A and B are shown apart, each in its own frame.
Chain A
Amino acid sequence: MTQQTSGLARWRLILVVLLLGGGTLALMWQMARLQLVEHEKYQKQAEREHWVKVPIVPDRGTIRDANGHPLAIAVSTFDVFVNGDFFQSRQRAEALGRLLEMSPETIMSRKLERGEKERLVAASVSYQRGVRIKEQAIVGVEVREKMERVYPEDSLAASVLGFVGRDNVGLTGLEKDLNLELGGVAGMAVYEGDSLHRPIPIAFRQVQPPKGGVDVILTIDRYVQRLVESQLDKAVAKHRAKGGTIIVMNPKTGAILAMASRPTFDLARLNLADNAQSELYRNRATTDMYEPGSVLKILTMAGALDEKLITPNTAFMDNGPVVKYGWTIDTWNGRHHGRETMTQVLQNSCNVGAVWISDLLGPERFYKYMKRFGLGQPTYVELSGESPGVVRTDVDPGWRPIDLATNSFGQGIAITPLQLATAVSAVANGGLLMRPHLVKAVRGEVGVRTFEPVVVRRVISPEAAKQLTEMMRAAAEDGESKLAIVPDYHIAGKTGTASISGEGGYTQQSTIASFVGFAPYNDPEILVLVKIDEPQDEPWGSLVASPVFSAITRDLLTYFRIPPTAMVAAQGTR
């Protein structure tokens, strides 16, 4: 019995020893596995939990108008979420309701759906209010900070400014093109954290501070922009037009004071998923090409004057339509004036006269001047997606001799509104072509950097520019575009009525009505280009675009405090 007992005890002992030994071995193996075999994996995991890396989002710079007024500014707002714990007490809803100025019933009604962990009860709550909610620390309530772009002037200059995405990165317009400057550089905080990833104050902590984005000060003047947009909206509605573009520039510096195009979009109602809306995001003043029509006669005339082939008084006989290479070219109204001076050619917007001048110039010189004026190449304004236009010259494949004739009065040549405004600015500026620009200065922590106007090149001589300006004054004040007249001021300008080319050639039903001019004509401070697409009631630039030019220019001359240059009585109906 005793032997049996002692044998059992021995076996038990052996079993315990084996179990303990096995357990010890297993523990040792596990320790060895953790410490040696998978050492790196667990070290990294520990570091991940212990070392906290938090990116610091920089403040996005503000876009301001020429006078420093904010057009787009980044502000911090909060989204307020509630979770399941919140709904356990009505007092919590009352407390949150007081802070959000909402009824507790409204908040309580937003119960969680099955499988939902939290629900948004208020979005984009103001910073002060968000901070108050955070300080109250109501159970089940979480506030998350986010950056939001605010537009104090609503959708003013929407296609120029563009917008940012949820990640605070610019998606269109200047927000995209100047994203590097506006967005700044993100910083990083690296520190030893506790189990909740809160920094341990005396432990290691290194902060790479973010570099905030710079403020961008535009040449756009919000008053001018608003005036232009309001006049454009009126004109588009009045003439039931498909759209339109207006550009206001300072011809001496190339500064763009306003740039508007229709149709456009509302910055407060962005829907990136809507393809129809995405069509509206582009800036039509720089991306869309069109055949300018008779306004291009200014440039044809400029080339001939600069080459001294003509003077304003050079006579030409307009005895009827001209046949060129099998094509008949007539005047816009079928009238022929017999003996006409070059000034009268511009006044009457005579296509036959323009063809005569292009013959004098010849293709080589004609296209040389088109290129000098910047047609067929981007203006290099700060906006991306700019179209260079289509100018087919005599050395390009597909060019035909008839192209020279049609190009001379602005058909068969495609340019952007900004290219035309820049080219005519060169005439207003004594023959010097300036680079159009939208950014006046940038202001950062280190100071202000102002951008000086850039002279691209001399296009025509000052004498030719002066002669052409006088001719344009006569064209605007005594020609077909009397509705462009600005009372008490002398202006210079030219109308354009361009046919639109379609699949079956040019359509007669729809046109592009335009006017480009500057004032005061002898010392220009502003240049205005008005382009109305496919007006339904009147096709002519002189009837559709000229009155818009007059209304805008009159207000702008007063706004810029430019003294009257003449007492010219307004003609026609205003």
Chain B
Amino acid sequence: MAVLSRLEKETSREGSGMGNSLWAVWGLLGGGILLLLFQTSHLTSTGYEVQRLEAEKRDWQRRNYQLEAEIGRLQSLERIQNEATQRLKMVPATQYLYVVGGTPRLSSGNDRETVPNRYPREQKETWSWWGRFWEDVRQWSAGVSQDLGDRL
């Protein structure tokens, strides 16, 4: 009897080991299937999302072109002229007055940098004799330092 009960115990131990292995296999298979299902559903939803975004991008591009065309129409010279002459009662200039202005300086602080201007530069003011003398000295010294710099 004792032999029989030992055999039963061993058999049941072996059976439970095989059962565990089967469970593990089933678990792995199930997990794999779930993973595959998850991936497939994720791919599907991503596919839809890509399609939606592509359509949205195209839609925005179309709207952009439409808006640009509308802006173009609003800024057209024909419309501007009509607005100016009919609504604002403006008339074309008949007389021209040319004003020779100074060259404005940039606010960057660099005194030598000026805004490009096609008009003639401002004429120098007429200074007193010592003012002109001092300006001449300043220009001479600048020339000397330039020469020295070039030689060095």
Q: Which of B40, B62, B78, B100 contacts A202 (CB 8 A)?
A: B40
Indicate the size class of the contact surface on chain B. Answer: 20 to 34
| Bound-state Cα–Cα, A561 to B118, Å | 7
Contacts of A199 in B (CB 8 A): 51
- Hey, which chain B residues are within 8 Å of A487, CB to CB? 96
Q: Which residues of B contact A131 (CB under 8 A)?
A: 59
Which of B16-24, B41-49, B130-138 participates in binding chain A? B41-49
* Number of interface residues, chain A, beta carbon within 8 A: 31
Residues of A within 8 A of B47 (CB): 201-202, 205
Number of inter-chain CB pairs below 8 Å: 68
Chain A residues whose C-beta falls within 8 Å of the C-beta of B110 in the assembled complex: none
Q: How far is the CB of B119 from chain A (nearest CB, A)?
A: 5
Interface string of B112-141 (1 = CB under 8 A from A): 000000111000000000000000000000
For A76, list chain B residues within 8 Å (CB): 62, 65-66
- Nearest CB of B to A525, in Å: 9
CB atoms of A562 and B118 under 8 A apart = yes
A435 within 8 A of B: no
The stretch among B6-14, B26-34, B67-75, B144-152 that forms the contact with chain A is: B67-75
Q: Which of the residues A153, A201, A223, A226 comes within 8 Å of B48, measured between beta carbons?
A: A201
Q: Is residue B61 within 8 Å, beta carbon to beta carbon, of the partner chain?
A: yes
B61 and A59 contacting across the interface, CB-CB below 8 Å: yes
A202 engages B43 (CB within 8 Å): yes
Q: Is the Cβ of A152 less than 8 Å from the Cβ of B76? A: yes
Contacts of A154 in B (CB 8 A): 76, 78
Which of B44, B72, B76, B100 has a CB less than 8 Å from the CB of A201? B44
A563 adjacent to B77 (CB under 8 Å):
no
Q: Closest residue of chain A to B45, judged by CB? A: A201
CB distance A70 to B51 under 8 Å?
Answer: no
Known contacts A131-B59, A153-B76, A201-B44; decide if A59 and B118 are in contact (CB<8 Å): no
Contacts of A202 in B (CB 8 A): 40, 43-44, 47
Q: Which residue of A lies closest to B72 (CB)?
A: A152
Given A59-B61, A202-B44, A153 and B66 contact (CB-CB distance below 8 Å): no
Given A202-B44, A563-B119: A69 and B65 interface contact (C-beta under 8 Å): no
Q: How far is it, in angstroms, between the C-alpha of A216 and the C-alpha of B94 when the chains are bound?
A: 36
**Beta-carbon contact of A152 and B75 below 8 Å:** yes
Closest-by-CB residue of A relative to B117 is A561
A148 to B, closest residue via Cβ:
B69
Best-surrounded residue of A126, A156, A201 (most CB of chain B within 10 A): A201
Which residue of chain A has its CB nearest to the CB of B74? A152
Does residue A75 face the partner (Cβ distance < 8 Å to B)?
Answer: yes
Nearest-CB residue, chain A, relative to B63: A127
Task: For residue A63, give the distance in angstroms from its CB to the closest CB of chain B.
Answer: 11
Q: In the complex, what residue of chain B is closest to A76 when comparing beta carbons?
A: B62
Q: Could you give, for residues 486-510 of chain A, a 1 whenever the CB lies within 8 Å of some chain B CB and a 0 otherwise?
A: 0110000000000000000000000
Apart from A73-B72, A74-B65, A563-B98, what 11 extra A-B contacts exist at CB < 8 Å?
A: A70-B72, A73-B69, A76-B66, A153-B72, A153-B76, A156-B77, A199-B51, A223-B77, A558-B96, A562-B118, A563-B100
Residues on B facing A (Cβ under 8 Å): 40, 43-44, 47-48, 51, 59, 61-63, 65-66, 68-69, 72-73, 75-78, 96, 98, 100, 118-120
Using CB atoms and an 8 Å cutoff, list the residues of chain A in contact with chain B.
59, 62, 69-70, 73-76, 126-128, 131, 150, 152-154, 156, 199, 201-202, 205, 222-223, 226, 487-488, 558, 561-564
Q: List 14 A-B contacts (CB under 8 A).
A: A59-B65, A70-B69, A75-B65, A76-B62, A76-B66, A128-B66, A150-B73, A152-B76, A153-B77, A201-B44, A202-B47, A561-B119, A563-B118, A564-B98
